[in-house]
Each structure stands twice: as C-alpha cells, then as structure tokens.
C-alpha cells in the first residue's frame, strides 16, 4: 500500500545549470520521439524491472525510464555539486513502503526534468483507478547536461519523450552506449580536450544465490573512466600501448596546477569558479533483496562512494552526481550481509561504467585517401552550426582546413585551424584531440549543402551559407 508520499512532488533544480545559447524563438518542427534503438545491449534476468528508451534524433538527446510494475522502496544519494532532480525529497523521508513506480533519467539539463512528468502521466493512462488515493504514480528523476558545447540547438527531452519512453518499455534488456539519456554524453573533460571523449549509458547484472543486483548508469562525467588496472579507457591519441594510466595523468596535472601550462593543457574545458557545470553521472542500483530503509540508504552511499574508483575525479563541484537505490523487496537472503551486498553492487557498478564507453577505432585504423583539389574546392566555404556559431572551410594546397572565429564547442579552439584528413572523397577526420569524423552532405544535384560532425548516433549538423 502506498503512503501519502505518493502525492509528494518536491522538485529540486540547480540554478547553476545553463540552457543552450541559441538566441530567438525556435521555429523548427516539433521533434519526433524514436523508440526503436539498435546496437549493444545488456541482457539480464530481472523481470521486476521494465526499461524504456526514447530519443530525439533532432537533438540528439534522450530519456531512459526504469519502471517497476509492483513499485519499489527507494532511496537517493546526491553527491555532485550541481544536481537537478525531481521527487528526491520524497525519498529522504525514510518511509519503507514501495511507493515509487519509476525512475527517469534524461538529457536536456533542467528542461529534461519534464520527462519525469510525462512518465507519470503515461502510467496514469495505463493504470485502472489512477485517480484513487494510493494509486497516484510517483516518479523520481534526474538529468544530465547535454546542450551547449557539444551540440548547437535547444532540443530537449520533454513530457512527450517521457511518455514515449514509458510506452516503449521492455523486460531484461538495456541499450548500452550512446542511447537514451546517454545519447550525447562525454567524459574526461577535467583533464582537457585531449581526454574529453564519448561515453554513454552502461549497465551490468549479477546474481548471488536468490539475490539479483543490477546497476544502470549514465556517464556524463567531468572525470575520466578508469579500468581496474588504473588505465584510462579511452583517449584521443591512443597508441599501441593504450591511453596510459590515471596515476600518470594526475601526476602531470598536479605538476602544472596554477600555471599557464596547466591552463593551456586544459583548454576549452577550463571551468572558472562560479560558472555553471556541464557534467553529471546518474546511477540506479536495483536489488530484489529485502532491506530495511536504513540498509538501502547505506547501500546507496557505499556504491556511490565506490564509483570514485571508476571515475577520477568524481563528485566535483562541477558534477551533478545522483544515485538512486531501490529494492523490489522479493527475497530474504540471510547469507548475504548488507556490507557484502554493497561490495558486490560496487563491483557491478564499475562494470556498468566501463560498459558505457563506446569502442574507439584502434591506432592506425584511419588511412589517408587521395582527394583531388577540385573536389576539395567544392567543400570550401562558410558553414553555420547555429545562428551564433559559424566555421570556415578552406583549401591550402593539398590540405583542407576548418576554423572558427570563436570557440566551436568541444570541436575547435578559437582561431586555431584543424586539418580535415580525408578517408574518402566525402569523409574526413578532424585533426583535433578526439579525432572527430566529418562528412560533407550533398543534395540530389550533387551540390554541397553542409556537413555532419560524427555522423551516426552523435551527429552535429552544419548548413552551408556560402
């Protein structure tokens, strides 16, 4: 039976989270939710969880919803310095009843909190007697920042996307990588653009006797993803030996802190004091183990603290880190103590973080193609990423260069040209720290109309102006 908390709707939003910097009203058509996602997925055995994913390709951005048909007891641990959440106050009141129906993760900064409202409304539509006391849908949620700097529009998850995600739910499957709320996430920005890399959403599952433990996370961290050997998982300039260790990176960082060299290395990701943040890791721990509220809360704290091993640094003032822990309250495994459950869940959480990172191309996988000067000249011109962001593409001899008069998000530094290295007549790799891909677009007549950075699940489109 639900408590009065089913009616609580206490939302806490950080004023430190910025909207995208796009002037004027939006005149584009309304985005269309897409629920048919492809690619890597975690398959597991936990039928008490149903997971739905919906995305706006126009962003790109998305939402991930975890629905519990019989409700769950839930707690929350907020550690980042810039969180944005909804209904988390209700979870702190220590009521032991299973009054929470769903957890919503979404992109879009504070705007994305609307997805949780859409989830609740979709539950209401499906539920008989949904207006009766004790049947009100309770949805808690949190968001990540996926706007300015990495994409140049203000398409955000909303009420409709939340409804679509709930309707698309299924059991025992969780999309990994750039999907759902993890559609446009990054990690590693603390150490500068040379380590700011793609991330996404990750998940892992383990069963110990009758006890099931699942962890799902959306990694949009200021820190860097680190494996169990202390190695950086992904970087822009990987060698045959990999990306190096986090210990070496921290040593180099601390040696230059406060110096001009340190600021130069950090580049565009330098975040002065008081400036709103663009990083957050959201995590959900689900178990079927029966736990007292205090034990579930300690599980949340223990697992959240453990993530500092997988993400370094973690819980900074520029992260909005939030972890939810829920129990479906189905089994009583006396052989598994609360600290042991926390230890296992912490290892599962590390696995989840590692699974969030998309695979990178191996060193040497990109080979330069020969493209004639006439074709390169067809690409020369001015392109608009938004009304406020423009770049110039020009040919110099046999090289094609791209440059912005101002900082172009995480892609180009102000006033610095980057070579576009051809891999085919239309496809290029940007000679920037991440090695972003760029594809020129043509219309039916063969006229160059624009380009797309990172075509695929992480696209940023530019239109040709002249």
Taking a C-beta distance cutoff of 8 angstroms, is the pair 37, 53 a contact?
Answer: yes
Distance between CA atoms of 198 and 254, rounded to whole angstroms?
A: 24
CA torsion 328→50→176→454, rounded to 10°?
Answer: -140
| Pairing verdict, β 322-331 and 280-289 | parallel
**Structure-token pair, residue 2:** 């639900």
Taking a C-beta distance cutoff of 8 angstroms, is the pair 425, 374 a contact?
Answer: no
Active site residue 280: yes
Q: Helix %, strand %, coil % for the chain, to 5? A: 20, 35, 45
Taking a C-beta distance cutoff of 8 angstroms, is the pair 82, 70 a contact?
Answer: no
156, 280, 283, 328: the active-site residue:
280
Taking a C-beta distance cutoff of 8 angstroms, is the pair 191, 251 a contact?
Answer: no
Distance between CA atoms of 134 and 202, rounded to whole angstroms?
A: 33
Q: Is residue 405 classed as helix, strand or coil in its secondary structure?
A: coil
CA torsion 23→26→27→29, rounded to 10°?
Answer: 140
Distance in angstroms between the alpha carbons of the first and the last residue of the chain = 64
Catalytic residue list: 280
């Amino acid at each position: 039976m639900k408590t009065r908390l089913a009616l609580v709707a206490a939302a806490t939003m950080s004023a430190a989270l910025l909207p995208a910097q796009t002037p004027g009203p939006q005149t584009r058509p309304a985005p269309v939710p897409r629920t048919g996602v492809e690619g890597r997925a975690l398959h597991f055995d936990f039928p008490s969880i149903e997971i739905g994913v919906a995305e706006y390709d126009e962003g790109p951005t998305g939402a991930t919803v975890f629905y519990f048909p019989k409700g769950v007891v839930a707690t929350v641990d907020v550690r980042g310095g810039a969180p944005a959440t909804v209904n988390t106050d209700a979870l702190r009141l220590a009521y032991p009843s299973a009054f929470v129906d769903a957890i919503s993760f979404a992109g879009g900064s504070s705007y994305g909190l609307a997805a949780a409202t859409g989830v609740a409304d979709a539950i209401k539509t499906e539920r008989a007697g949904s207006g009766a006391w004790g049947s009100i849908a309770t949805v808690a949620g949190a968001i990540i920042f996926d706007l300015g700097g990495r994409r140049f529009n203000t398409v955000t998850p909303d009420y409709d996307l939340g409804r679509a995600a709930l309707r698309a739910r299924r059991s025992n499957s969780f999309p990994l990588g750039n999907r759902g709320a993890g559609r446009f996430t990054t990690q590693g920005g603390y150490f500068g653009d040379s380590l700011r890399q793609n991330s996404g959403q990750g998940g892992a599952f383990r069963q110990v006797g009758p006890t099931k433990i699942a962890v799902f996370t959306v990694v949009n961290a200021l820190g860097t993803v680190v494996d169990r050997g202390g190695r950086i998982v992904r970087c822009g300039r990987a060698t045959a030996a990999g990306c190096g260790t986090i210990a070496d990176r921290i040593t180099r960082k601390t040696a230059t802190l406060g110096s001009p060299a340190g600021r130069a290395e950090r580049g565009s990701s330098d975040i002065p004091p008081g400036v709103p943040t663009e990083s957050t890791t959201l995590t959900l721990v689900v178990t079927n183990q029966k736990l007292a509220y205090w034990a579930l809360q300690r599980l949340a704290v223990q697992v959240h603290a453990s993530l500092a091993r997988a993400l370094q640094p973690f819980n900074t003032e520029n992260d909005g880190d939030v972890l939810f822990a829920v129990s479906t309250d189905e089994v009583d495994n006396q052989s598994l103590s609360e600290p042991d459950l926390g230890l296992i869940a912490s290892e599962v959480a590390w696995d989840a973080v590692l699974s969030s990172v998309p695979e990178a191309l191996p060193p040497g996988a990109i080979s330069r193609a020969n493209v004639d000067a006439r074709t390169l000249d067809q690409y020369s011109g001015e392109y608009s990423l938004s009304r406020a962001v423009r770049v110039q593409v020009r040919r110099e001899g046999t090289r094609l260069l791209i440059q912005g008069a101002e900082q172009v998000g995480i892609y180009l530094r102000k006033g610095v040209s980057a070579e576009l290295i051809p891999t085919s007549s239309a496809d290029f790799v940007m000679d920037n720290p991440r090695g972003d891909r760029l594809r020129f677009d043509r219309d039916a007549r063969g006229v160059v109309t624009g380009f797309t950075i990172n075509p695929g699940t992480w696209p940023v489109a530019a239109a040709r102006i002249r």
